[in-house]
Amino acid sequence: MSLFLKTAIKAGKAAGKIQKKYYGKVRNIRFKGNNKLNLVTEVDTLCEKTVLTILKKQFPSHNFWGEESGRGSGTSPYTWLVDPLDGTTNYAHSYPFFCCSIALIKQVSLPTNASVGARHALPLRKPQSASLNLSPSPSRGEGGRSPGEGNFNHFTTPHPNPLPQGAREILKTNHSEAQEIIAAVVYDPLSDECFSAEKGQGAFLNGKRMQVTKTSDLKQSMVCTGFAYQVLSTNYNFQNFRNFVLKSQGVRRDGSAALNLSYVAAGRFEGFWERGIQAWDMAAGVLLVQEAGGKVTDISGKPFNLFAENALASNGKIHKKMFRILKSGKDEKKWANHHHSK
């Protein structure tokens, strides 16, 4: 095991310890931009600070890009992508499906456009405090009110680091074809499951090698997906969901792309598809699937692009069948029309 992976595992588990400590107790929740489906909590921020502190101490010359703190500047061929708490909405509702996702990319060319880059390459923010403003959660039996009564309060202040306007197109086009994900860790603190992989070395779950399933019949396959934060404006994925319900053994929507991809790698799902996800959501999971023997492409059938905001992953056996279902549905045309109209 390389120092890269050892350090990533250490960082992921440190974030998981924080997630477990405050699980069921989060009260202060903000929204990214004006989208009330896209939440961020104090735990996200604290976990990211913890992960970045560990990574930067070991690899001070590397680049770092955290979901909550933005991208730092640097010229190193190595960049760490960190999603400190994938499944924040689940976490805020005490729904037990969330994780920390960490990936290391080598020789990736990040956007350098001055107007957008200047806004996106924000300095890493210092958290207000390592002591969070938390109070008992009735849903966890920690208070005087009945379960279900006001589990948390929303704070509608804008998220300080939303993805800048116009940055998405730059992310899609200004990248190196030589980019590669070389290390990945996804840690689920509640189940104490650590999914890890290094390029060319296989994928592992708590040290035991993982392998995708060999199921080739879609009717015997269980697949998973997610709905983008833009779902209210795009209405994307409803028909896809219906089509897979009718043609597979089951469809799950759990709210964490990183864990969904990890489950494909572990043989718990046969396939996964989603649009509207960011590089930090899927980088680690993509390497896990690939190293477990699976296949990952763009939903449109093109080679996978880490910055294209979508992924189609499978055990390889049902990949073409999943692609055909997606291609034949109206949702893909709907998504394309929505984004071309902007």
Q: Of 137, 163, 182, at which residue does a domain stop? A: 182
Residue-number span of the structural domain to which 157 is assigned: 3-182
Q: What pLDDT, in 10s, does the model give residues 1-45?
A: 899 999 999 999 999 999 999 898 876 666 555 554 445 678 888
Please give the structure tokens belonging to residue 214: 């060999």
Assess if residue 205 is contained within a domain. no
Q: What pLDDT, in 10s, does the model give residues 227-246?
A: 876 666 667 788 889 999 99
**Residue 178 and residue 215 in one domain:** no
The enclosing domain of 33 has a CATH number of 3.30.540.10
**Residue 13 and residue 131 in one domain:** yes
Return mean pLDDT, the chain. Answer: 78
For 57-68, b/e burial (b = at least 16 CB within 10 A) is eebeebbbbbbb
Assess if residue 191 is contained within a domain. no
Q: pTM, whole model, 2 decimals?
A: 0.78
Distance separating alpha carbons of residues 306 and 167, to the nearest angstrom: 14
**Residue 174 and residue 231 in one domain:** no
Residues in the chain: 342
**Residue 241 and residue 112 in one domain:** no
Number of domains in the chain: 2
Assess if residue 190 is contained within a domain. no
**Residue 111 and residue 10 in one domain:** yes
Assess if residue 47 is contained within a domain. yes
Please give the structure tokens belonging to residue 119: 């806004």
The Cα-based distances of 33 to 30, 157, 160, 223 in angstroms read 9, 8, 8, 31
Q: What pLDDT, in 10s, does the model give residues 311-335?
A: 999 999 999 999 999 988 777 776 6
**Residue 214 and residue 178 in one domain:** no
**Residue 175 and residue 217 in one domain:** no
**Residue 132 and residue 228 in one domain:** no
Where are any strands of DSSP class E within 232-332? 250-252, 271-275, 295-297, 310-314
Q: How many CB atoms lie within 10 A of CB 14?
A: 16
Where are any strands of DSSP class E within 53-150? 63-66, 70-71, 78-86, 99-106
Q: Of 164, 182, 200, at which residue does a domain stop? A: 182
Distance separating alpha carbons of residues 188 and 195, to the nearest angstrom: 8
Q: What pLDDT, in 10s, does the model give residues 78-109?
A: 999 999 999 988 998 899 999 999 999 997 45
* Percent of the chain predicted with pLDDT > 90: 54
Q: Which pLDDT score, from 0 to 100, does residue 159 have?
A: 38
Q: Is the pLDDT confidence value at 288 over 70? A: yes
Please give the structure tokens belonging to residue 3: 């120092």
Assess if residue 69 is contained within a domain. yes
**Residue 145 and residue 215 in one domain:** no
The enclosing domain of 331 has a CATH number of 3.40.190.80
**Residue 48 and residue 140 in one domain:** yes
The Cα-based distances of 95 to 24, 37, 329 in angstroms read 9, 16, 31
